Amino acid sequence: MPYEDAELRVFWHPGTGRDPRLLITFGDLVSLRRPHSFFAEAPVRKAGLACLGFVARTPNWYLPGIMEPAWAAVDPLLRPFVRRMTYGGSMGGYAAIRHSRRLGATEVLALCPQWSLDPAECEGHRPGYVAHFRPAMRGMGIRTQHVSGRVTVLADLGDRGDAGHAALLSRHVPGLRVVGVPMAGHHVTAILAGTDNLLGLVAACAAPDDRDLGAVVQTARRASPVRARNLLAAAIRRRPAAAARLARHERMGLDGSADHVRRLHAPLVAALMRAGRADAAAEHARWAAGLAVSPEDAATLRALAGLPEPVFEDAAGELAADRPIRTVHGTILVFDPGARRLRHVPPADAAGMPRVLLSGGATARLCVEGAKGLAGLAVDPTGFATVRPAIGSPGVTAFRVGPAAGAAASVVLRGPGGYLCAARNGSVSADRGVARAWETFRLA
């Protein structure tokens, strides 16, 4: 690390020497959560590129006053390289353009960058990031004298915020090349992540025309679940019934996170109800509520569809705790005391291994029969389990019980680390983010 202070860290990766270029990266706001790595580090190391990585420690947008103390430390690292490419996204995209002349860049690649955060100079455009604006950012707009090299901006021009910044950059940066990334929103960086994409972008930015760059962008965009989810969001507004069918496609990768509930699941259920498709709304609400991480989110989805809160009871009015838990493989859950792990085996092979039972209601606990009654199980996300004296003993893992989508009389069990899962090889874990077939169980 050639330089570090309270506002900035600079990382150096010498590379393998196969590529004569130096890549200079600038981290975005997401990088603030990963202070010990630099932007694009994984593909840089995998590809053996020489790289200088600037990482902001606060949302400082790499203002000149922030960068000035670091120049003396990085200049000796720059000198051996004639070709230098600056690269960053959002806040880092701004810096990649703003400091390109100081760094002697021959190419610049900025993903969804800002031109300025100062509303006073944005010509009526709302720059966004109000919470991060500070007095030192007044007049931070990029000017011709700040820029060198061939500058390329990749942005979704259908996103009002990013399109506005791209327009301002076009006015102030001569020869700017803007390539659209439709249906990406402000997630261009996520869509273009990965070693193959980075190498393709580096090569394409030096090409004389836009064909290679466009091909890299198109290939990454079409393969990205981010684009698929943005298409889904658009379909929810226009064709909710079609959106409901798309939502369960594996390529969407939808889960029960608060973000997916807020942006996709809840709007879809509401749109289906408005369209008079109550049955479809109820079906999606049940499926999405089974995925939801938060009980509150699950309750919201059910309420939007007019569904009652689920009750998991048998005919006697209590959840049965004396029957084994069956998996979709036709096996039952057992506790292997030798390995101290949960497993699932055919019933005929369960001799000597206590059967795992479920005790409780909407919140339940896994247990086994002990000498003094039911003993609770403390289960970690890997399926490692320890026996506690009683169901109510400290440390016994609580699982939220939910209805399994499309499977009558079946449930999903979500613990602190994720859904309980019975894999095909007989192992059991409690770490899955999405509930599908292997995460579905029946009380036999």
Q: Where are the domains of the chain?
A: 3-223, 227-304, 325-443
Q: What is the mean pLDDT of the chain?
A: 86
Q: Which residues of 419-439 are buried (b: 16+ CB within 10 A; e: fewer)?
A: bbbbeeebebbbebebbbebb
Confidence of residue 309 (pLDDT cuts 50, 70, 90): low
Q: What is the pTM of this model?
A: 0.62
HSE toward the beta carbon, residue 188, CA cutoff 13 A: 31
Residue 314 has a pLDDT of: 40
Distance separating alpha carbons of residues 157 and 185, to the nearest angstrom = 8
User: Nearest to residue 302, comparing CAs of 229, 399, 403, 400?
Assistant: 403
Residue 371 has a pLDDT of: 66
Q: Which residues of 39-57 are buried (b: 16+ CB within 10 A; e: fewer)?
A: bbbebbeebebbbbbbbbb
Higher pLDDT, 406 or 219: 219
Residue 32 has a pLDDT of: 86
Residue 313 has a pLDDT of: 43
- Which long-range contacts (C-beta less than 8 Å, at least 24 apart) are formed by 73-82? 73/2, 73/3, 73/10, 74/2, 74/3, 74/10, 77/2, 77/12, 77/52, 78/22, 78/52, 78/103, 78/104, 81/20, 81/21, 81/22, 81/50, 82/20, 82/106
Encode 313-336 in three state secondary structure. Answer: CCCCCCCCCCCCEEECCCCEEEEE
CATH topology (fold) of 3-223: Rossmann fold (3.40.50)
Confidence of residue 190 (pLDDT cuts 50, 70, 90): confident
Kindly state the DSSP code that residue 48 receives in the 8-state scheme.
Answer: T
Q: pLDDT tens digits, residue range 327-386?
A: 999 899 999 887 889 999 998 887 777 899 988 877 889 998 876 678 889 999 999 998
Interhelix angle 295-304/266-274, nearest 10 degrees: 10
Mean pLDDT lowest among 157-161, 263-267, 351-355: 351-355
Length of the chain counted residue by residue: 444
Rounded to 10 degrees, the C-alpha dihedral 390/392/395/399 comes to 110
Here the tokens at position 369 are 């029969």
User: Nearest to residue 252, comparing CAs of 299, 260, 277?
Assistant: 260
Confidence of residue 251 (pLDDT cuts 50, 70, 90): low
Residue 232 has a pLDDT of: 84
- Name the CATH architecture for the domain at 325-443: Trefoil (2.80)
Q: Which residues of 383-394 are buried (b: 16+ CB within 10 A; e: fewer)?
A: bebebbeebeee
Residue 47 has a pLDDT of: 87
Amino acid 10 reads: V
Confidence of residue 77 (pLDDT cuts 50, 70, 90): very high
Residue 153 has a pLDDT of: 94
* 325-443 matches 3-223 in CATH topology: no
Residue 20 has a pLDDT of: 86
Identify any residues that bridge with 401 across adjacent strands, giving them in sequence order: 413
Residue 408 has a pLDDT of: 63
**Euclidean distance between the first and the last CA atom of the chain, given in angstroms as a whole number:** 59
Would you call 436 helix, strand, or coil by DSSP? Answer: coil
Q: pLDDT tens digits, residue range 387-434?
A: 888 888 888 999 988 888 666 678 899 998 899 999 999 999 999 988
pLDDT above 70: percentage of residues in the chain: 93
